[in-house]
């Protein structure tokens, strides 16, 4: 870590962004005994909320879930400015500039935490070019609670949804839209859904699940045109993997093609960015007083950013420990979950370096997919298999796990594996 002394009792920490990461830093600092001033600046209107339900329960039922109860902010002496946006950072003077009706225009900090998250990737209109979002009535994105409300209202009055992008958000919205009675098609340009984020077997499992719920899936397919009646979308023309043109009926389109880090503030003040704000292992930028956490941050030794609640919370704990000059929390085994059709997929570890896989049936409904890189277990994907997930996560954390050959025997009970007796390879 660069040049940093523990925060004094009169210090001011300004957090930009009221998502899981930003609120996590506030909570961690207070729980570690920080006595100084905490300020939260959030561009969104209202109290910070849980983002994952926006494609699941909140989309289905229409109610969002607060991250912390309202009185929490007051009892933890957090000064909150909502509907307030940081527009610039003056690093030399250690000040931020704000646009808001209630907050001061300029605010000083001793430590600045950038927790500005990510924004939906812009989708180019296949017909007109440029950014289709906002130009075409009926094209939605999903990142914040207002997006979810607009999408829910549209789903309730629509019959046919086409989802562009077969990532987790697209798949979760597909499941929710089916529950709301919509016909759903998913168009994925990669050869398989979830190509970037999950092994082949997980894609296969979820493909079958969606097809069994009546979702039409087009993988390796391109959107060629949005057909309109007036401004309204009437169908989406695609070119399938086989090269055929096909018109999918649609009155509503969701562009779920990934997210890009909101790193413009950091870039404008001269901090290093590149697929996110570049940070060290403690989430500190090259400016010792500025830290970045959550979806917007990228570790300088890694090419990917991890977009998950688990990562946001872990980085919040890392930053709080560093600011208070306390011991670092234990390293995180990345974890993630996705809820679809009443079932849950849980993932621990990162599968991308794997070169072989073991698949297992878990009980009547469950599956587990174990990713190995040579002898090394690197990830487990567990569908409706909480025991496999819990054990797999523990095995990854301890570096003691069964060899792939042991797991491949379907009749082995996972709980029977005893670490001392087996030949796991330490991570």
Ligand X SMILES: Cc1cc2nc3c(=O)[nH]c(=O)nc-3n(C[C@H](O)[C@H](O)[C@H](O)COP(=O)(O)OP(=O)(O)OC[C@H]3O[C@@H](n4cnc5c(N)ncnc54)[C@H](O)[C@@H]3O)c2cc1C
Residue 60 or 241 having the CB closest to ligand X: 60
358 binds ligand X (CB under 6 A): no
Smallest separation, CB 172 to ligand X (Å): 7
- The pair of structure tokens assigned to 60 is 């289905």
Closer residue to ligand X (CB): 142 or 377: 142
**In this structure, how many other beta carbons lie within 10 angstroms of the beta carbon of residue 234?**
15
Cα dihedral 407/311/297/140 (nearest 10) = 90
Count of H helices and E strands in the chain? 10, 25
| Terminal-residue alpha carbon distance, the chain | 24
Is 202 among the residues that bind ligand X (CB under 6 A)? no
Contact stretch for ligand X (CB under 6 A) within 20-28, 220-228, 280-288, 347-355? 20-28
Q: Which is nearer to ligand X, 235 or 311 (CB)?
A: 311
User: Least Å distance between CB 302 and ligand X?
Assistant: 16
CB count within 10 Å of CB 27 equals: 20
**Distance (Å, whole) CA 314 – CA 297:** 12
Confirm or reject binding of residue 336 to ligand X (CB under 6 A): yes
Scanning 36-44, 60-68, 206-214, 393-401 for contacts with ligand X by CB under 6 A, the matching segment is 36-44
Residues within window 264-293 making contact with ligand X, judged by CB under 6 A:
265
Q: Nearest approach, Cβ of 372 to ligand X (angstroms)?
A: 24
Here's the x/- map for ligand X, 305-334, by CB under 6 A: it reads as --xxxx-x----------------------
Tell whether residue 116 is a contact of ligand X (CB under 6 A).
Answer: yes
Binding-site member from 17, 138, 166, 349 for ligand X (CB under 6 A): 17
- Which one of the spans 42-50, 105-113, 241-249, 357-365 is the region binding ligand X (CB under 6 A)? 42-50
- Choose between 50 and 237: whose C-beta lies nearer to ligand X: 50
- Asked if 262 is part of the footprint of ligand X (rule: CB under 6 A), the reply reads yes
Question: Contact region for ligand X (CB under 6 A) — 115-123, 175-183, 231-239, 383-391?
Answer: 115-123
Please, which residue, 335 or 417, has the CB nearer to ligand X? 335
Tokens 């946006």, located at residue: 85
Q: Which two tokens stand for residue 99?
A: 């646009």
Chain centroid to Cα 405, Å, comes to 33
Helical spans, DSSP H, in 258-330: 264-268, 309-323
Q: The tokens 């979806």 sit on which residue?
A: 295
Residue from 115, 161, 252, 396 that binds ligand X (CB under 6 A)?
115
Q: Site size for ligand X, by CB under 6 A?
A: 36
Asked whether the beta carbons of 64 and 25 are under 8 A apart, the reply is no
Tell me if 170 contacts ligand X by CB under 6 A: no
For 348-406, the DSSP string reads EE--TT--EEEEEEETTTEEEEEEEETTEEEEEEEES-HHHHHHHHHHHHHT----HHH
Q: Determine whether 82 is exposed, middle or buried from the number of CB atoms within 10 Å of its CB (0-12, 13-18, 19+).
A: middle
CB of 335 to ligand X, least distance (A): 8
Closer CB to ligand X, 61 or 247, in the complex: 61
Among 78, 142, 279, 378, binds ligand X (CB under 6 A): 142
Q: Give 102 or 410: the residue with its C-beta nearer to ligand X.
A: 102
Residue (of 222, 235, 228, 215) closest to 173 by Cα position = 215
Contact flag: residue 67 with ligand X (CB under 6 A): no
Q: How far is the CB of 135 from ligand X (least distance, A)?
A: 22
The answer to whether residues 224 and 244 touch, using CB atoms and an 8 Å cutoff, is: no
106-108 vs 95-99, strand pairing mode: antiparallel
List residues binding ligand X (CB under 6 A): 16-22, 41-44, 51-52, 54-55, 85-86, 115-118, 142-143, 169, 262, 265, 294-295, 307-310, 312, 336-338
């Amino acid at each position: 870590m660069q040049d940093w002394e523990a925060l004094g009792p009169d210090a001011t920490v300004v957090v930009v962004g009221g998502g899981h990461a930003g609120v996590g830093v506030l909570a961690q600092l207070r729980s570690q005994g920080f006595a100084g001033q905490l300020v939260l600046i959030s561009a969104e209107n209202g109290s910070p909320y849980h983002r994952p339900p926006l494609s699941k329960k909140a989309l289905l039922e229409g109610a969002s879930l607060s991250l912390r109860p309202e009185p929490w902010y007051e009892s933890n002496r957090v000064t909150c400015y909502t509907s307030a946006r940081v527009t610039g950072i003056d690093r030399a003077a250690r000040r931020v500039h704000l646009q808001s009706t209630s907050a001061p225009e300029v605010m000083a900090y001793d430590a600045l935490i950038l927790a500005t998250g990510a924004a939906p990737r812009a989708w180019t209109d296949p017909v007109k070019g440029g950014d289709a979002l906002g130009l075409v009535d009926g094209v939605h994105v999903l990142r914040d609670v207002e997006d979810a409300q607009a999408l829910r209202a549209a789903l309730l009055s629509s019959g046919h949804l086409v989802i562009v992008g077969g990532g987790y958000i697209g798949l979760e919205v597909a499941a929710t839209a089916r529950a709301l009675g919509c016909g759903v098609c998913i168009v994925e340009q990669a050869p398989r859904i979830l190509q970037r984020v999950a092994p082949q077997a997980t894609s296969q499992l979820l493909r079958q699940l969606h097809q069994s719920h009546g979702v039409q899936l087009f993988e390796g397919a391109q959107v060629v045109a949005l057909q309109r009646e007036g401004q309204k979308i009437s169908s989406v023309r695609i070119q399938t993997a086989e090269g055929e043109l096909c018109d999918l009926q649609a009155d509503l389109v969701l562009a779920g093609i990934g997210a890009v880090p909101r790193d413009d503030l950091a870039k404008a003040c001269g901090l290093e960015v590149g697929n996110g704000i570049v940070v060290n292992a403690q989430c500190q930028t090259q400016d010792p007083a500025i830290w970045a956490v959550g979806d917007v941050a990228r570790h300088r030794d890694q090419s990917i950013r991890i977009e998950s609640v688990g990562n946001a919370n872990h980085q919040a704990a890392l930053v709080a420990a560093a600011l208070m000059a306390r011991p670092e929390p234990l390293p995180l085994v990345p974890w993630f979950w996705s809820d679809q059709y009443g079932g849950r997929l849980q993932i621990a570890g990162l599968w991308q370096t794997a070169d072989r896989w073991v698949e297992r049936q878990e009980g009547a409904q469950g599956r587990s997919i174990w990713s190995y890189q040579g002898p090394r277990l690197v990830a487990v994907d567990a569908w409706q298999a909480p025991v496999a997930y819990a054990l797999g996560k523990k095995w990854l954390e301890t570096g003691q796990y069964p060899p792939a050959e042991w797991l491949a025997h379907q009749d082995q009970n996972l709980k029977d594996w005893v670490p001392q007796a087996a030949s796991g390879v330490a991570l």
